[in-house]
A and B are shown apart, each in its own frame.
Chain A
Amino acid sequence: EIVMTQSPATLSVSPGERVTVSCRASQSIRSNLAWFQQRPGQAPRLLISGASTRATGVPARFSGSGSGTEFTLTISSLQSEDFAVYYCQQYNDWYTFGQGTKLEI
C-alpha cells in the first residue's frame, strides 16, 4: 500500500497569507495525485487533480505542483472560506489519502 504523508498536521495562519501544504508518497505515483478541501460539516471537494490541474470552479489562488513522490498545494492569499482541512490522495495504485492538514486562524 502506498502511504501518503502530509505536513504539517496543523497550520496557524492569517487571511492574506501564502500557505504551502506538503504531501509525500512512499513510492512514485507519477502525477496521479489529487487535493481535496473539506470544510466543517461538509463532504470533501475536489480542488486539484493530476498534481496541478484545478477542478472546475476552483479559484486561481489554489495551485498544485510536484511529481513522483513530492507534492505541494499552495494557496497564494488565504481567504476566510479557505480555513478547512486539506487532503492529498494518490490514485496511481488503488487509492490512499494523506492524514490531512488543518488550516486554522
Chain B
Amino acid sequence: EVQLVESGGGLVQPGRSLRLSCAASGFSFDDHAMHWVRQVPGKGLEWVAGISGKSDSIGHADSVKGRFTVSRDNAKNSLYLEMNSLRVEDTALYYCVKKSSDIFDMWGQGTMVTVSS
C-alpha cells in the first residue's frame, strides 16, 4: 500500500524557517517525481514545488522561489521542503504528492504550517 506521511509542520514566526519531511513507502520511490502542494484551510490548491526521481529536474512556484527548496533522499525514501523567510501568507496545509506519468496520483494527509507572530 502506498503511504505518504508528512511531518515537520507547526507554528513559526514570520521570517523564520521550517523543514517539512515526507516519508514514502509502498512503491519504488526513486522511480517517481514528488511534489508539494499546499492549501489554505477552506481555500483552493496551489502547487509549491516538485523534484524528479533522480533530482535532475526541480521546479518551484514563483510565490516561493528563492525562499523554499525541495529536495529528496532516495536512500531514505524521503522528500523534503526547506522553507525560509516564511510569511503569513505561507500559512497552509502542505501535502506531499506522488506523481506517475505526469499525474498527481497519491496524496498524503498533509502537515499544517502556521506563520504568525
Contact = CB atoms under 8 A, between A and B. Distances in A.
Interface of A is mostly: loop
Given A43-B108, A43-B109, A43-B110, A97 B103 contact: no
Interface of B is mostly: strand
Contacts of B45: 36, 44, 87, 89, 97, 100
B47 A97 contact: yes
Contacts, number: 49
Interface string B28-72: 000000010100000011110010000000010110000000000
A3 to B, nearest CB: 12
Given A43-B95, A87-B45, A89-B45, A32 B107 contact: no
Q: In the complex, which range does the number of interface residues on chain A fall in?
A: 20 to 34
A103 interface: no
Q: In the complex, which range does the number of interface residues on chain B fall in?
A: 20 to 34
Interface of B: 35, 37, 44-47, 50, 59, 61-62, 95, 102-110
Interface of A: 1, 32, 34, 36, 42-46, 49, 55, 87, 89, 91, 94-100
Given A94-B47, A98-B44, 8 more contacts: A34-B104, A42-B109, A43-B107, A49-B102, A49-B105, A94-B59, A94-B61, A95-B104
